[in-house]
């Protein structure tokens, strides 16, 4: 981020607004011209300047009229902050290292909770929010069944979130053959199957995959015609956000799609938010999963940092999302420490399916391959 | 998916792509893998080699080569050129015959399969009845004689392959006049040989395996002479005048038989066992060549004393008192002798012997005293010692080129200076636009420098690193060219030598700076040698430095091989590249990456433990960096570690099996062979085990704790903006197997203080790619997004200086993704995922410059990437857009993929067998492929007129004349036939005359006008002389 320290200051005039900025234990007060707030980068530089932290990468947040802590990281939300601040704009600055940038967006809740409580401690008796402004994908994702509404009933698309757990993915695949219905009648074709689940691994603990399930797609790419090694490489390359479409060996647990309740329960944990952008979740686009973008750089033997995006695009919202995420999660009382915890403790409707499935696991493993 | 949609079909770009990219496999360099048959046309001066995989290759003058492949992929057993025609017949091991011809199309010749045929007997007959053992293309060009296992000889018509049943020579008719006691021995078991009488095409000599030889008259369809041999027959050979022939036998003897009208059942004149008296092996082929001085050349294959030398692959040449048994390094497939091909000539006067052995081609000059070998311009045995790595350098400056050639010529002084005797065809390919070097590193510690500019891959110079080290072998004990006062008089020939004295000597990485002549070579035992080109032989001490890559690590123990011991004191080096510094990595693990910056006089090398930077000006180690992960214990155990990849061990075991097959005899019985054998057994066991278990693949995210993450895969020097955007500085970049990139900023003192101040280095950046895939390439793009030039390239005015104004970018290529970052502040800019979306992994990558075939002034830099699926992708810079992709190598061919090297101009090489490089081209502009023409004998016949009219009789000085003299006999008949045509239709004469004129014009060396008119008149005279002077043998039916 080539944010130069430009645009410092600005003469106080009639339309000025008071800014109270907190970094660590220190407060700074200064003013801004409400009608000409300038760019976010200038504001960022200004904050670095007034706090005398020119080379420290920081996260900037403010409290809105509801007392919620919201991030400022682009021109839009900066302008929003300025326009809504009345009369005082309260700014909270957080060191990026402390915020553990490597865990950006989708890190473990525990870490984020700590960060969060640090940030929010001075202000933690504000009201509970009822406005949700984050995107669904900013939630800490968990393994789930997705795209129930667009897939044939005989197929299941499973998203395995490796990230944030210590569990190994824990499954093996093998070559095999399955029978397909073609215009020329039944035809035996080679396929890739799940051959083994490692006890205690992610795949087993979610209960979403079973031995002898036929793998049809990996992250949206069909595996037909690909070799076992190729599919292995694809899965490993996508291991941080692996989406496998399978034809379950046991077809008895298939979702009956015309039932509305089960239709929604088949979706992932973000069903409460689907009114926002349901298609992002439901129609998976490989390009939008930038799970491996968190490359780390260590400059001059300093602290590791996440490599930022060079071009500020919509993806730079990432910095926004982290705080949002923390925020929302706490407010929903939704801070599981691990996947297992999530599955077994969350009693919400949307979990029903997965739990049911997990209980069926042993049955599935013994099931015969039914593939038509 | 959307990537492809988004890239759009911009018609302008699509057109440009067509102008820039085109995939062609152009030519195969090296020696054909598993050759199985040899053929030679004395009229075309072309040699043909067939292989066990059904490939046929034709070679003539350097640059003249053709390739064909039988669909069946069966072993080629025999190859025969149809006399005087651009056609040849091949016999495969499925008993099928194939007719190939060289057709001219748009100015060049092409090899095409015309016909195929399988000889079938009557229904119910045994398959051996029609199993072909011998093929004789008759000089009439109309029929083939096919000898079979049943003893019958079938005659088929060409080119239709119609069996002429009336002319079948059955064994019954042959035996009609043979004495009963002889015929009771069933002498007609199998046809071993059929040879046409050199003077009378109506007589053919037929030899059967039990020893009976008959002379058969084609016109009367009966045997005229019977030669009742008692020994099992191997082959027969006519003497030039047709008055005698030689037979050679299974017991190692040969016999001379007289042929005259007086005696129809003669006894042999002489029978001899050249290497007797003890039992000898069979003489499988023999030549008897008469010379002016009266002493014949007797050349035969085999015949060695069975007990003591039965394992030798030998060909003996006897000429008067001179006798040498050439001892080949591998089994002799076949051989031929090049002699005066004019059948009217009185003497053979052999000039050269061409021997096809299983692993190399050897040509012996029979005219020069001592019979030295001739250096072949093609068919080089790339695998003399197994190739371990290769490195390509484009556009070599003339000065360096000449110095390398001069160093190499001193090594080749023992070769004959005879012109290459196989000189058919004309090379039409334009001269290569630049001088390219291909350097191959070998298992025995040598580096071979090949001229890779053109179609012929030619050895220029061979560099050995062995002298620097103390090994068990005395470097002087290699091939003693003359084994004196020994019987048999064996002499080793050939260079194939797959035995590595010490596997640690193997070369793993090569880097040549073409401007400075500095060469860095790194090997299996962590040795890095820096060399300089010296035109004189010199004796000096090689400086020694050690780079301890484990400096700050404790408690590790290296269980691998020891480092090589360097020789103390001065070492004598021949002219050429001479080492001056040896940098030894500790622990002595395989050097996995190497970079040389000749301007800064720095060399960097990396192993599985870390990397180091060495200042070769001050001879001082600048720094080392250990890249080991603390938990990576396995990396320390060395090459014997359990974690060796299965693919690798399989490959090695196959190589071992192959090698042990190649050498049934143990030349150096020792522990190495035993260990290898044990290993092979172990690997086979592992293989079986693997087959029993179901093939499963574990799906697991990579973690930092994975083994071998510290393995340094790539090193790169760049002058770029590492710390701030105002000042650029030298830097060293390293990429590891675990997806980590290290960047060090360097401070190189200015030239005037270069010796006084130390080079300093400081770590500036460390990038960890989260997908943790191995880094295969690092590249810095300048302000114009062009790759930084090579060291010294700008200083030599051969490149634009890099743009230091705009911002630089860093391209990191991992096996799974390509990523572009900004510099100096590292932020990610662009990326291209390969594995996650397509399941392929990057194996090799290089930047190549592609020129447009339409306009001279347009060119662009692109990335060429070879994936583990064997396909090549071209990816644009700096936007990382896939331009095109081509399937190139089978994905199962792991060693082919591993051996691939790209050139800087969009070509590349990969090994298709241990001994052959396939050359391919991705560029429309830079294409090296054979373009050659073989003149049909009809056209060469005008040259023949030069001969007969006495205008030129200079022998084989010029290529065209050489060919014509080889064709004289054929042409005589041809002309006769033409004359008969002329009687029927005068237009034909005119056309022939016209073609005489055009033929002269069409070839490379046009006949001057005055000469052409003389040719024309002599031609007409000749035709008329023939018409009245010679009675035609056959009636010519139009």
Q: What kind and span of H or E run contains B577? A: strand B576-586
pLDDT recorded at residue B314: 94
With CA atoms as reference, the chain B residue closest to A238 would be B836
Whether residue A129 contacts residue A68, with contact meaning beta carbons closer than 8 Å, is answered with yes
Q: Which residues contact B103 (CB under 8 A, 6 or more apart)?
A: B86, B109, B110, B112
Size of interface A-B (CB pairs under 8 A): 139
The residues that bridge with B577 in the sheet, in sequence order, are B533
Question: In chain A, which among 227-256 make CB contacts under 8 A with chain B?
Answer: 227-240, 242
With CA atoms as reference, the chain A residue closest to B694 would be A174
pLDDT recorded at residue B981: 40
Contact A295 B770 (CB under 8 A): yes
pLDDT-based confidence at residue A309 (cuts at 50, 70, 90)? confident
Whether residue B385 contacts residue B446, with contact meaning beta carbons closer than 8 Å, is answered with yes
| Closest Cα in chain B, distance from residue A175 (Å) | 7
pLDDT tens, residue by residue, B45-79: 999 999 999 999 999 999 999 999 999 889 999 99
Structure-token pair, residue B897: 């993929």
Whether residue B38 contacts residue B49, with contact meaning beta carbons closer than 8 Å, is answered with yes
pLDDT recorded at residue A178: 86
Q: Which residues in chain A are classed under CATH 2.30.42.10?
A: 143-253
Residue B477 phi, psi (nearest 5): -85, 5
CATH class of A143-253: mainly beta
Going by C-alpha positions, the residue among B948, B996, B940 that lies closest to residue B964 is: B940
Angle, helices B1009-1029/B937-948, rounded to nearest 10 degrees: 90
> Of the candidates A227, A230, A295, which has its C-beta nearest B828's C-beta?
A295
pLDDT-based confidence at residue A140 (cuts at 50, 70, 90)? low
Whether residue B286 contacts residue B299, with contact meaning beta carbons closer than 8 Å, is answered with yes
- Residue with the larger pLDDT of the pair A276 and B252: B252
Q: Are strands B55-59 and B46-51 parallel, antiparallel or unpaired?
A: antiparallel
DSSP string, A249-266: S-GGG---TT-HHHHHHT
Going by C-alpha positions, the residue among A287, A280, A248 that lies closest to residue A367 is: A248
Cα B117 to the center of its chain, rounded Å: 31
- Residue with the larger pLDDT of the pair A5 and B8: B8
pLDDT recorded at residue A369: 33
pLDDT-based confidence at residue A255 (cuts at 50, 70, 90)? low
pLDDT recorded at residue B353: 95
Q: Are strands A88-95 and A16-23 parallel, antiparallel or unpaired?
A: parallel
- Residue with the larger pLDDT of the pair A60 and B556: A60
Contact A168 B701 (CB under 8 A): yes
Contact B1 A286 (CB under 8 A): yes
Coil, helix or strand for A241?
helix
User: What residues of B are in contact with residue A169 (Cβ under 8 Å)?
Assistant: 699-701
Rounded Cα distance between B822 and B721, Å, is: 10
> Of the candidates A231, A239, A296, which has its C-beta nearest B839's C-beta?
A231
Q: Which residues contact B859 (CB under 8 A, 6 or more apart)?
A: B849, B850, B851, B852
A172 touching chain B per CB within 8 A = yes
Rounded Cα distance between B283 and B306, Å, is: 12
Structure-token pair, residue B958: 């010029």
Cα A13 to the center of its chain, rounded Å: 43
Q: Which residues in chain A are classed under CATH 3.10.20.90?
A: 16-98
Q: Which parts of chain B have pLDDT scores under 50?
A: 1-7, 477-484, 639-645, 657-675, 690-692, 939-986, 989-990, 993, 996-1018, 1020-1021, 1023-1038
pLDDT recorded at residue A363: 33
> Of the candidates A239, A310, A311, which has its C-beta nearest B701's C-beta?
A239
Contact B697 A298 (CB under 8 A): no
The residue whose two tokens read 């890249």 is B627
As to burial, measured by CB atoms within 10 angstroms (0-12 exposed, 13-18 middle, 19+ buried), residue A201 is buried
Q: Which residues of B touch chain A, with CB atoms under 8 Å apart?
A: 1-3, 694-702, 723, 763-771, 773, 816-817, 819, 821-822, 825-829, 831, 833, 835-841, 868-869, 891
The residues that bridge with B777 in the sheet, in sequence order, are B813
Whether residue B135 contacts residue B128, with contact meaning beta carbons closer than 8 Å, is answered with no
Q: What kind and span of H or E run contains B945? A: helix B937-948
Going by C-alpha positions, the residue among B7, B80, B76 that lies closest to residue B44 is: B80
Structure-token pair, residue B346: 């009185």
Rounded Cα distance between B300 and B285, Å, is: 6
Domain A16-98 in CATH 2.30.30.50? no
As to burial, measured by CB atoms within 10 angstroms (0-12 exposed, 13-18 middle, 19+ buried), residue B32 is buried
Rounded Cα distance between B559 and B552, Å, is: 19
Rounded Cα distance between B451 and B905, Å, is: 16
Q: Which residues contact B578 (CB under 8 A, 6 or more apart)?
A: B531, B532, B533, B534, B538, B540
> Of the candidates B771, B828, B839, which has its C-beta nearest A309's C-beta?
B828
Q: Are strands B191-196 and B203-208 parallel, antiparallel or unpaired?
A: antiparallel
Rounded Cα distance between A16 and A18, Å, is: 7
Rounded Cα distance between B365 and A52, Å, is: 87
Task: Tell which phi-psi region holds residue A188, choosing left (phi > 0), alpha (psi between -120 and 50) or beta.
Answer: beta
Rounded Cα distance between B528 and B590, Å, is: 10
Rounded Cα distance between B841 and A226, Å, is: 13
Rounded Cα distance between B235 and B213, Å, is: 10
pLDDT tens, residue by residue, A95-120: 876 664 433 333 333 333 444 444 44
H helix count then E strand count, chain A: 11, 14
Contact B821 A310 (CB under 8 A): yes
Count CB-CB contacts under 10 A for residue B844.
21
pLDDT recorded at residue A275: 34
Rounded Cα distance between B1026 and B980, Å, is: 9
> Of the candidates B697, B833, B869, which has its C-beta nearest A172's C-beta?
B697
Is-above-0.80 flag for pTM? Answer: no
Q: What kind and span of H or E run contains B7? A: helix B2-7
User: What residues of B are in contact with residue A171 (Cβ under 8 Å)?
Assistant: 699
User: What residues of B are in contact with residue A299 (Cβ under 8 Å)?
Assistant: 764-765, 826
pLDDT-based confidence at residue A14 (cuts at 50, 70, 90)? low
- ipTM of model: 0.72
Question: In chain A, which among 283-302 make CB contacts under 8 A with chain B?
Answer: 285-287, 292-301
pLDDT recorded at residue A45: 87
The residue among B697, B699, B763 with the most chain A CBs within 10 A of its CB, best to mutate, is: B699
The residue among A195, A233, A305 with the most chain B CBs within 10 A of its CB, best to mutate, is: A233
User: What residues of A are in contact with residue B868 (Cβ under 8 Å)?
Assistant: 229, 233
Rounded Cα distance between B366 and B422, Å, is: 14
Coil, helix or strand for B278?
coil
Rounded Cα distance between B349 and B47, Å, is: 20
Count CB-CB contacts under 10 A for residue B910.
25
Q: Are strands B901-902 and B593-597 parallel, antiparallel or unpaired?
A: unpaired
Q: Residue B792, preceding bond cis, omega within 30 degrees? A: no
Rounded Cα distance between B732 and B594, Å, is: 11
The residue whose two tokens read 């040795």 is B527
**Lowest mean pLDDT, pick from A206-210, A218-222, B515-519, B974-978:** B974-978
pLDDT recorded at residue B679: 54
């Amino acid at each position: 981020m080539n944010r130069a320290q430009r645009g410092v200051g600005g003469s106080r005039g009639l339309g000025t607004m008071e800014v109270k900025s907190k970094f660590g234990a220190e407060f700074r007060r200064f003013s801004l011209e409400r009608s000409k707030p300038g760019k976010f980068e200038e504001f960022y530089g200004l904050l670095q300047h007034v706090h005398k932290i020119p080379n420290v990468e920081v996260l900037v947040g403010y409290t809105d009229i509801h007392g919620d802590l919201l991030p400022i990281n682009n021109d839009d939300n900066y302008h929003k902050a300025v326009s809504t601040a009345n009369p005082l704009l309260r700014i909270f600055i957080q060191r990026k290292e402390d915020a553990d940038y490597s865990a950006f967006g989708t890190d473990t809740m525990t870490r984020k909770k700590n960060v969060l409580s640090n940030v929010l401690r001075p202000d933690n008796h504000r009201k509970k929010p009822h406005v949700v402004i984050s995107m669904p994908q900013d939630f800490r994702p968990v393994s789930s069944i997705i795209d129930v509404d667009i897939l044939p009933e005989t197929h299941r698309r499973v998203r395995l979130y490796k990230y944030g757990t210590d569990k190994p993915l824990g499954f093996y695949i093998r070559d095999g053959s399955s029978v397909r219905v073609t215009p020329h009648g039944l035809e035996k074709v080679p396929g890739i199957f799940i051959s083994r689940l490692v006890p205690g691994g992610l795949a087993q603990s979610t209960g979403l995959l079973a031995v002898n399930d036929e793998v049809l797609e990996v992250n949206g790419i069909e595996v037909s015609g690909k070799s076992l090694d190729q599919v292995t490489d694809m899965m490993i390359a996508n291991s941080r956000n692996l989406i496998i479409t399978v034809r379950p060996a046991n077809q008895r647990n298939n979702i009956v799609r015309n039932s509305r309740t089960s239709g929604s329960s088949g979706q992932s944990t973000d069903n409460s938010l689907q009114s926002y952008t349901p298609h992002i979740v439901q129609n998976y686009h490989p390009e939008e999963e930038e799970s491996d973008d968190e490359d780390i750089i260590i400059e001059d033997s300093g602290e590791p940092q996440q490599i930022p995006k060079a071009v500020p695009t919509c993806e730079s919202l990432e910095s926004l999302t982290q705080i949002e995420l923390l925020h929302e999660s706490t407010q929903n009382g939704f801070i599981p420490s691990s996947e297992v915890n999530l599955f077994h403790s969350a009693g919400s409707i949307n979990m029903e399916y997965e739990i049911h499935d997990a209980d069926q696991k042993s049955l599935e493993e013994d099931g015969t391959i039914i593939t038509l | 998916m959307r990537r492809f949609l988004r890239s759009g079909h911009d018609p302008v770009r699509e057109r440009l792509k067509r102008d820039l990219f085109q995939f062609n496999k152009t030519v195969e360099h090296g020696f054909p893998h598993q050759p199985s048959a040899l053929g030679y046309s004395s009229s075309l001066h072309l040699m043909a080699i067939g292989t066990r995989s059904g490939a046929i290759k034709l070679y003539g003058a350097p640059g003249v080569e053709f390739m064909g492949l039988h669909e069946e992929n069966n072993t080629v057993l025999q190859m025969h050129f149809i006399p005087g025609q651009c056609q040849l017949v091949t016999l495969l091991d499925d008993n099928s015959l194939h007719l190939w011809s060289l057709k001219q199309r748009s100015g060049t010749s092409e090899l095409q399969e015309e016909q195929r045929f399988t000889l079938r007997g009557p229904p119910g007959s045994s398959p051996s009845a029609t199993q072909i053992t011998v093929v004789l293309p008759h000089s009439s060009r109309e029929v083939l004689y096919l000898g079979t296992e049943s003893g019958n000889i079938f005659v088929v018509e060409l080119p239709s392959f119609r069996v002429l049943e009336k002319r079948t020579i059955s064994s019954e008719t042959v035996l009609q006049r043979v004495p009963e006691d002889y015929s009771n021995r069933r002498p007609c078991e199998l046809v071993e040989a059929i040879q046409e009488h050199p003077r009378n095409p109506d007589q053919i000599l037929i030899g059967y395996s039990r020893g009976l030889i008959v002379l058969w008259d084609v016109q009367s369809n009966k045997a005229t002479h019977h030669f009742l041999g008692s020994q099992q027959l191997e082959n027969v050979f006519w003497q030039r005048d047709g008055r005698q022939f030689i037979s050679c036998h299974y017991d190692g003897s040969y016999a001379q038989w007289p042929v005259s009208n007086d005696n129809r059942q003669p006894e042999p004149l002489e029978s001899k066992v050249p290497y007797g008296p003890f039992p000898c092996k069979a003489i499988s082929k023999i030549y008897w060549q008469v010379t002016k001085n009266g002493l014949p050349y007797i050349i035969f294959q085999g015949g060695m004393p069975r007990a003591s030398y039965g394992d030798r692959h030998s060909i003996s040449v006897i000429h008067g008192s001179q006798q040498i048994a050439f001892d080949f390094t591998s089994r002799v497939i076949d051989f031929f002798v090049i002699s005066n091909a004019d059948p009217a000539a009185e003497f053979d006067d052999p000039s050269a012997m061409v021997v096809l052995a299983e692993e190399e081609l050897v040509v012996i000059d029979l005219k020069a005293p001592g019979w030295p070998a001739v250096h072949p311009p093609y068919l080089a045995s790339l695998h003399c010692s197994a190739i371990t790595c290769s490195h390509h350098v484009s556009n070599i400056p003339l000065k360096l080129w000449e110095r390398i050639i001069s160093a190499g010529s001193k090594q080749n002084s023992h070769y004959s200076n005879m012109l290459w005797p196989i000189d058919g065809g004309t090379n039409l390919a334009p001269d290569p636009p630049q001088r390219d070097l291909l350097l191959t590193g070998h298992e025995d510690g040598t580096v071979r420098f090949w001229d890779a500019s053109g179609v012929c891959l030619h050895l220029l110079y061979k560099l050995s690193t062995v002298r620097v080290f103390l090994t068990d072998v005395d470097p002087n004990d290699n091939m003693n060219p003359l084994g004196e006062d020994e019987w048999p008089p064996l002499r080793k020939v050939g260079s194939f030598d797959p035995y590595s004295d010490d596997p640690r000597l193997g070369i793993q990485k090569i880097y040549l700076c073409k401007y400075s002549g500095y060469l860095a070579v790194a090997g299996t035992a962590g040795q890095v040698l820096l060399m300089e080109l010296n035109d004189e032989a010199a004796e000096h001490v090689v400086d020694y430095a050690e780079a301890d890559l484990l400096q700050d690590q404790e408690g590790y123990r290296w269980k691998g091989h020891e480092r090589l011991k360097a020789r103390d004191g001065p070492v004598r080096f021949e002219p050429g590249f001479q080492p001056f510094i040896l940098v030894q990595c500790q622990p002595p693990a395989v050097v996995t990456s190497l970079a040389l910056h000749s301007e800064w006089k720095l060399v960097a090398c990396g192993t599985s433990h870390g990397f180091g930077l060495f200042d070769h000006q001050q001879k001082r180690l600048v720094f080392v960096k250990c890249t080991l992960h603390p938990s990576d214990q396995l990396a320390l155990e060395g090459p014997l570690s359990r974690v060796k990849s299965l693919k690798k061990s399989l490959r090695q075991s196959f190589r071992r099996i192959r090698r042990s097959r190649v050498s049934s005899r143990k030349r150096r019985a020792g522990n190495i062979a035993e260990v290898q054998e044990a290993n092979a057994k172990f690997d086979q066991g592992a293989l079986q085990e693997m087959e029993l278990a179901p093939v499963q693949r574990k799906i697991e995210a990579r973690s930092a704790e994975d083994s071998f993450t510290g393995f340094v895969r790539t090193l790169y020097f760049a002058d770029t903006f590492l710390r701030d955007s105002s000042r650029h500085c030298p830097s060293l970049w390293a990429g590891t197997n675990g997806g980590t990139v290290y960047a060090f900023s360097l401070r190189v003192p200015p030239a005037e203080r270069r010796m006084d101040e130390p080079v300093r280095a400081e770590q500036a950046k460390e990038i960890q790619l989260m997908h943790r895939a191995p880094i295969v390439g690092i590249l810095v793009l300048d302000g114009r997004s062009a790759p930084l030039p090579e060291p010294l390239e700008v200083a030599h005015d051969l490149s634009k200086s890099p743009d230091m104004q705009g911002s630089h970018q860093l391209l990191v290529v991992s096996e799974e993704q390509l990523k572009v970052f900004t510099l100096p502040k590292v932020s990610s800019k662009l990326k291209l995922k390969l594995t996650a979306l397509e399941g392929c992994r990057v194996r090799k990558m290089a930047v190549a410059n592609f020129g447009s075939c339409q306009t001279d002034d347009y060119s662009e830099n692109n990335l060429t990437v070879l994936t583990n699926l064997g396909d090549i992708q071209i990816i644009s810079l700096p936007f990382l857009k896939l331009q095109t992709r081509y399937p190139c190598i089978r994905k199962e061919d792991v060693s082919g993929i591993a051996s691939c090297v790209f050139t800087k101009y969009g070509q590349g090489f990969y090994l298709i067998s241990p001994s052959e490089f396939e050359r391919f081209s991705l560029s429309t502009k830079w294409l090296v492929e054979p373009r050659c023409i073989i003149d049909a004998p009809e056209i060469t016949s005008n040259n023949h007129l030069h001969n007969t009219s006495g205008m030129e009789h200079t022998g084989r000085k010029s290529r065209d004349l050489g060919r014509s003299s080889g064709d004289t006999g054929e042409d005589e008949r041809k002309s006769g036939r033409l004359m008969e045509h002329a009687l029927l239709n005068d237009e034909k004469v005119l056309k022939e005359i016209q073609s005489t004129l055009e033929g002269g014009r069409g070839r490379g060396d046009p006949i001057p006008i005055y000469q052409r008119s003389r040719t024309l008149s002599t031609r007409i005279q000749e035709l008329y002389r023939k018409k009245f002077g010679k009675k035609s043998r056959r009636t010519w039916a139009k």
